[in-house]
Chain A
Amino acid sequence: MLEVKGLSKSFNDVNAVSDISFSVDSNSYVSLLGASGCGKSVLLRLVAGLLAPDEGAVYLNGIDITLQPCNERQIGFVQQKYALFPHLNVYDNIAFGLRHRTVDPITDEAIVKKEVFEIIELVGLQGQEYKMTGQISGGQKQRVSLSRTLVTKPSICLLDEPLGALDANLRERMTIELQNIRAELGISFMHVTGNEFEALAMGQKMLVMEEGRIVRQGKPQELYNLPLDLATAKSMHSFNIFSGALMKDVINKAKSQKHSSPHSGKASYCALRMDKIDIQEGTNSGSGIPVEFVANEFLGNKTIYFFKTNCGHICEVEEHMSLTAPRNLSPNKEYQLNFSAQQILLYDENHLLIK
């Protein structure tokens, strides 16, 4: 089990990560969601031992490894851009850790071969063993990078945006394969990503990071259904966030419905899920907000409609194509967005959910 307590690191007085604590259970899949530049990669480097923290400690299976050199930790790190050794072929890339590690290197080439071929079979790289890394595709490079780490049997494997450079089709396939590979080996994965769908789909536990801090951790479904703070809601990219006059307008419209929130006075922000809004032509009823249609994006199984409110705020509405047919909206007509008061989440000035 990996445990991180109060980890902080700053560069030139700018905090990259501050006071981060979390744990990764053995044999589990944890995903960490954060926008680019929020300190995800720095956090991984601190855990892997490639950077030294200013404060805090890292424990692996109860042992403090904060000061242990990177090459002696049992933590694998799969780099974002694969970082394959360009002068070695696939086989030698995978065998690198087994042959050259400081702790317990394998000198018997027969054992190296056996282990390398086992992992090659597991990740499905058969037939590519003796190709140079420049001759294989992006997806195969990703597998080489992964198997190079996994073959050394780390206690935990850190994956830095492992699917980021793959095309959508391959990404979906790898999502399932990663989970299968992990389950087969029985080690923990910590999967870092900027993609909310990946984070939701992969993790048994999910961490949400913003501006160098872990703002929330929990089960993906719980975090998605009821984000306890604004940063988590934002990172899901599934909520319209309103503030100021527009927020008041939304709340007032909700109050006109029967279920009004007694705490709405304290609210500084409100969030409304994109797939819980109803589009209505014309502005006849008083319970919705009037909007102007801007554009739509057809995504196959769903369509996203973009509307502009009176104050210029862009509001997104998502409709799944299994529930309704694509709408033919026109910029010249008037529309109104209706919602149920129960769907509105209110947040106070400290960005915390008002329950």
Chain B
Amino acid sequence: MNNNANTRTLLLLSPGIIWMTLFLMAPLIMMVYVSFWTQTTFTIKPDLTLQSWINFFNSDTYFGALLRTIRIWLTVLFITFVIGYPVALFIGQFIKNKTLQTALLVTCVIPFWTSFLIRVLAWRPMLGKEGAINILLQKIGLINAPIEVLLFTELSVIIGMVQIYVVFMVGPIAFMIGRIDESLIESARDLGASAWFIFRKIILPLSMPGVIVGAIFVTVMVLGEFATASALSGRKVNLLGNIIITQVGSLKWAFAAVVGVVLTMVMAVFVAIMLKIVNLRSQL
């Protein structure tokens, strides 16, 4: 009986295990392994060496790209939270009609009906020297000369990424806020708490799992980014993702693998910390 149950469990699990082993574990192990291979200009040999790792941490260009990636990621994460939370609060708490709630969430996703690249490139005619924003600001007389910092800078990369990824912050938070039982808020009001205290002591803590899930979504996507950075910075802002692309392009597999491992580690550490803060399994 027990044996039968075990066999059945294994049988049910096997498709998932096979899939994860083939397409997640094997590539990850391979990536770590390749990062220690010996790289020459045109060839790569499976002789183990630390050379690619030493090169990465010794080079200002590459290590600088790591720091830049982390800086832009944290900035985008912070701004998506600051913009996303109030929107989610509005949808989850102030809209009582479930249909309207869903409609508003779907509205947030409308930009996703176009392709990712078009969404990124659409920012160019908006932010450029002769772009919509500069023309508008000049027309209403707020500025005399166009603001040049808007396009082909780190700022434009941040603006682009925030617009693209903010919805991934809104969704999970709105979902969690929408799940907060109205009677909790009523009780807190009846116990004498003001709207501000109800937000700080009830709504914010209870929506934290949503914030964590949103932060993980945004993090995973921003850290792996390369297209927005190259399209909106005129290739001036190099993120780790861009470096992987160039290294793979010039057949430097070992070095690309080093960057890949570093990126994966940053994500893993962040996700681990986030999951430590909030016990998602008990909350969702």
Contact A152 B206, beta carbon cutoff 8 Å: no
B180 to chain A, nearest CB (A): 9
Name A79's contact: one of B183, B193, B201 (CB within 8 Å).
Answer: B183
Given A86-B206, A96-B201, also A71-B183 (CB < 8 A): no
Assess whether A70 is in contact with B190, with CB atoms less than 8 Å apart. Answer: yes
Q: Sort chain B's interface into a size bin.
A: 10 to 19
* Interface status of A199 (Cβ within 8 A of chain B): no
For the complex, give the distance between the alpha carbons of A96 and B189 in Å. 11
A259 to B75, CA, bound (A): 91
Q: How far is the CA of A97 from the CA of B188 in the complex (A)?
A: 7
B191 contacts which chain A residues (CB < 8 A)? 71, 76, 96-97, 100-101, 148-149, 152
Cβ A50 vs Cβ B189 within 8 A: yes
Q: Does A170 have its Cβ within 8 Å of any Cβ on chain B?
A: no
Interchain CA distance A70-B198 in the complex, whole Å: 13
Q: Are the CB atoms of A97 and B189 closer together than 8 Å? A: no
Q: Is the CB of B194 within 8 A of A71?
A: yes
**With A85-B202, A87-B206 as given contacts, are A77 and B192 in contact (CB-CB < 8 Å)?**
no
Determine if A100 and B201 form an interchain contact, defined as CB atoms under 8 angstroms apart: yes
Asked if residues A71 and B184 are in contact (CB atoms below 8 Å), the reply is no
Chain B residues near A72: list those with CB within 8 A.
Answer: 192
Q: Which of A50, A71, A85, A86 contacts B192 (CB 8 A)?
A: A71
Q: How far is the CA of A240 from the CA of B205 in the complex (A)?
A: 53
How distant is B94 from chain A, measured CB to nearest CB, in Å? 16
Q: Which residues of B contact A96 (CB under 8 A)?
A: 188, 191, 193, 201
Our pick among B184, B187, B190, B202 for the contact of A75 (Cβ within 8 Å) is B190
* CB of A308 closer than 8 Å to a CB of B: no
For A48, list chain B residues within 8 Å (CB): 190
> B192 touching A100 by the CB < 8 A rule?
yes
Check A71/B206 contact, CB under 8 A, given A77-B187, A79-B183, A83-B183: no
Asked if A103 contacts B192 (CB within 8 A), the reply is: yes
A102 within 8 A of B: yes
Is A71 touching B190 in the complex (CB atoms < 8 A)? Answer: yes
**With the chains together, A79 CA to B191 CA distance in Å?**
12
Taking Cβ atoms with an 8 Å cutoff, the residues of A that contact B are 45, 48-50, 70-72, 75-77, 79-81, 83, 85-87, 96-97, 100-103, 105, 145, 148-149, 152
Chain B residues proximal to chain A, CB less than 8 Å: 181, 183-184, 186-194, 197, 201-202, 205-206
10 A-B pairs with the lowest CB-CB distances in the bound complex, closest first: A101-B192, A97-B191, A83-B183, A83-B187, A77-B190, A100-B197, A100-B193, A70-B189, A71-B192, A102-B194
